[in-house]
Amino acid sequence: MMNNPMKLADLMEGARNCCINWGNVKKGENVLIVTDTNCDFRNAQAIAAVCTEVGAKVTTTVIAPQELPNQEPPAPVAAAMKAADIAFLPLYYTISHTTARFDACNNYGTRVIGMYASTDVEGLASKAAKFPVEILFKVTQKVAKQWTSGKRIHITCDKGTNVSGDITNPDLNVVGWHGTAAPLGTYHEGADSWMNKFGNFAGGFGVVGVWPGWSAEGVMYYDAAHTFCGRLKTPLKFVIKKGRVVEIEGDPEVADFFRRLPERFGPDAHHIGEFMIGLNPWSRLNFDDPTHMEAHRHAGGLHTCIGMSVDRDRTVNPGIHLDQYIMEPTIYIDDQPCVEKGKLLVYYNDPEILELLEKYDIKL
């Protein structure tokens, strides 16, 4: 229930930041909203109201919830996504890495905004949903420049994570950031593909990541695992060799779930498909739902997937993509730090970002 009488105002402000400031919705555009029966319909209503306000034409459809993240939506929804100028997806589980989403962006030019974990309005009404896009655009550009200029990523954490991977082709394999470096669909880099047309807005937006080919080697200890609510009692341990998980340890139910994925999706279900950090300092570390989508946007937090790769062509595609989370990683690109124990350093040592924080009177 929306007991706070100001929540509606917060919800609409978040929706405007999402639709107008970032999504770049314009008069006359065809807007598609796809939600499901697990979600609070007020999210869809807020998006529809903002888009209608600017003169866009809005169509809303409601589907049954997906069984697992990144399963294909119904065929009529996939067709509608291709016909839209922009699609908003306030859903329970993500469909961001489906063929339907990829085809709509890559082959039809549809801009797509995922809005997952929309079972309540807290994400869209949150402080993070209102974080100034001017700052996030500039942070995205700066972090992306560091990653695309590097040759290797090295990740550690206090629980024992120690993993590295090569950045072999930054033009193709450093991902996520093109759509959050400017109003969606407008950034000049990635304009020939889906990369500047897609992003997720779940309690804020902003990520940058890399697919390290098949070069990832090491061990990772996760604080949270996709499809499981809450922080894990025992950190989930992945041993990784040549880009594939070869050993899994953790709480019995969690470890067994991940061990059995290849039975349904084949051996590439254990492929390491991304290392990705969030860029929004106000995004909540919310693990109450099994998607953890807000936490994935949190500045300096790391999520890494097993399953399909996030390179421009989705080179590895077993039909599953599950993201696990590390709260306080330390990340180096070559010999330069990017994140130190969960702190995204650009917010603390870059003069241009510090000037923008002062402009908006933001203290981190």
124 has pLDDT over 60: yes
For residues 103 and 219, membership in a common domain is answered with no
The pLDDT, as a whole number, for residue 1 is 44
The pLDDT, as a whole number, for residue 289 is 87
227-249: per-residue pLDDT in tens? 999 999 999 999 999 999 999 99
307 forms beta bridges with 321
The pLDDT, as a whole number, for residue 306 is 98
Domain boundary among 125, 152, 170: 125
Candidates 262, 217, 254; CA nearest to 236 is 254
For residues 87 and 141, membership in a common domain is answered with no
Domain boundary among 125, 141, 169: 125
For residues 158 and 86, membership in a common domain is answered with no
Count of beta carbons in the 10 Å neighbourhood of residue 242: 12
Q: In this structure, is residue 26 part of a structural domain?
A: yes
224 forms beta bridges with 325
148, 222, 267, 271, 307 from 246: Cα distances, Å: 28, 16, 10, 9, 13
Q: In this structure, is residue 191 part of a structural domain?
A: no
12-59: per-residue pLDDT in tens? 999 999 999 999 999 999 999 999 999 999 999 999 999 999 999 999
Q: In this structure, is residue 149 part of a structural domain?
A: yes
For residues 144 and 70, membership in a common domain is answered with no
6 has pLDDT over 90: no
**pTM across the whole model:** 0.95
Residue 199: pLDDT band with limits 50, 70, 90: very high
The pLDDT, as a whole number, for residue 202 is 87
Distance CA 128, CA 282 (A): 4
Distance CA 300, CA 283 (A): 11
For residues 297 and 327, membership in a common domain is answered with yes
Count of beta carbons in the 10 Å neighbourhood of residue 1: 6
In this structure, are residues 273 and 265 in contact, taking their beta carbons and an 8 Å threshold? no
In this structure, are residues 91 and 35 in contact, taking their beta carbons and an 8 Å threshold? yes
**What tokens appear for 126 in the block?**
């949150």
* Domain tally, the chain: 2
For residues 118 and 136, membership in a common domain is answered with no
**What tokens appear for 314 in the block?**
């989705």
The pLDDT, as a whole number, for residue 4 is 61
Q: In this structure, is residue 25 part of a structural domain?
A: yes
For residues 259 and 292, membership in a common domain is answered with yes
For residues 111 and 152, membership in a common domain is answered with no
Mean pLDDT value across residues 174-178: 96
Q: In this structure, is residue 13 part of a structural domain?
A: yes
Q: In this structure, is residue 193 part of a structural domain?
A: no
- CATH number of the domain that residue 82 is part of: 3.40.1830.10
353 has pLDDT over 80: yes
For residues 162 and 46, membership in a common domain is answered with no
Q: In this structure, is residue 255 part of a structural domain?
A: yes
Count of beta carbons in the 10 Å neighbourhood of residue 359: 11
Rounded percentage of the chain residues whose pLDDT exceeds 90: 94
Q: Across the chain, where does the E strand assignment appear?
A: 30-36, 57-63, 86-89, 111-114, 152-156, 162-166, 174-175, 198-200, 207-210, 217-222, 224-225, 236-241, 244-249, 272-278, 302-307, 321-326, 330-333, 336-340, 343-344
259-313: per-residue pLDDT in tens? 999 999 999 999 999 999 999 999 999 999 898 999 999 999 999 999 999 999 9
Domain boundary among 125, 141, 157: 125
Q: Which amino acid is at 227?
A: T
51-95: per-residue pLDDT in tens? 999 999 999 999 999 988 999 999 999 999 999 999 999 999 999
Candidates 185, 153, 7; CA nearest to 87 is 185
For residues 217 and 350, membership in a common domain is answered with yes
The pLDDT, as a whole number, for residue 5 is 57
Q: In this structure, is residue 268 part of a structural domain?
A: yes
Q: Which amino acid is at 145?
A: K
In this structure, are residues 93 and 292 in contact, taking their beta carbons and an 8 Å threshold? no
Distance CA 220, CA 158 (A): 11
Domain housing 320: 131-182+203-359
The pLDDT, as a whole number, for residue 272 is 98
2 has pLDDT over 80: no
For residues 58 and 146, membership in a common domain is answered with no
Average pLDDT over the chain, rounded to an integer = 96
Distance CA 254, CA 239 (A): 15
For residues 86 and 160, membership in a common domain is answered with no
